[in-house]
Amino acid sequence: MKTIKIERFFRKLNDSIPKAETELCYRNTFELLIAVILSAQATDISVNKVTPELFAAFPTPEEMHEAGSEKVLSYIRSIGLAPTKSKNIVRTCAQLVENHAAQVPQNREQLEALAGVGRKTANVILNTAFGHPVIAVDTHIFRISNRTGLAPGNTVLQVEENLMKAVPEKWKKDAHHLLILHGRYVCKSRKPDCEHCVIVQECEHPDKTVP
């Protein structure tokens, strides 16, 4: 996709999504980290159903670590992969307390060293909590990048690298949320809503439906 088209692509997305931010509910960086860990292979809606009680019971890394994985599990059973996530969360809390004075680190390497935190989760934290111009690639962003021709790639890492090359600097900070929200509500997996898509003219998919 040519640079001038990409600029229009993001300008139109930005105009159509004036509040481009995560739909996860959180009050601080620690809560965001736990919510993002829980959101792997789960919807934001399902995560938001369990986190208010979880965070009310254990509002700090120290308290969540002391509670233990079984207690944490009792609050998140409805979430996919809950047993594994509860263990990772408790280990992450221990790491935060022992290595980072109970604070969420702002360094990618330190974030990825936390239990249950991979590159995507680290990118979400760096972008959403700390304002870094990085792009976390989830299933929505992977699909849109390939479907529209914005930044095609065979792997998540390829798409991320291509997005970082293609997206203009002025849009990099908001690109993650603009793309994910557009994919969640318009450019859906099984039935993309081309009729109501603001970037249909920029989209390079051969089967798009132009109103």
Neighbouring CB atoms inside 10 A of 123's CB total 22
Q: Determine, yes or no, domain membership for 204.
A: no
Contact between 33 and 125 under an 8 Å Cβ cutoff? The reply is yes
120 is catalytic: yes
> Based on the domain organization, do 162 and 191 belong to the same domain?
yes
Which residues are CB-neighbours of 11 under 8 A, at least 6 positions away? none
Which residue of the set 138, 170, 172, 208 is catalytic? 138
Tell me, what's the pLDDT at 65? 98
pLDDT for position 151: 97
66-107 pLDDT, tens digit per residue, is: 999 999 999 999 999 999 999 999 999 999 999 999 999 999
In this prediction, residue 210 carries a pLDDT of: 78
Terminal-residue alpha carbon distance, the chain: 21
pLDDT for 75 equals: 98
Q: How many domains, the chain?
A: 2
- Is 107 in the same domain as 42? yes
- CATH number, position 63: 1.10.340.30
Task: Supply the range of the domain harboring residue 97.
Answer: 29-129
CB 179 within 8 A of CB 202: no
138 is catalytic: yes
Residue 208 pLDDT: 82
Chunked into runs of 10 residues, the chain (211 residues) has average pLDDT values of 95 95 97 97 96 98 98 97 98 98 97 97 98 96 97 97 97 97 96 95 89 68
Q: Rounded distance, CA 184 to CA 116, Å?
A: 24
Catalytic site residue from 12, 85, 120, 173: 120
The structure tokens 């980290």 sit at 33
The answer to whether residue 12 is domain-embedded is yes
Report the CATH number that the domain containing residue 190 is assigned in CATH. Answer: 1.10.1670.10
pLDDT value of position 32:
98
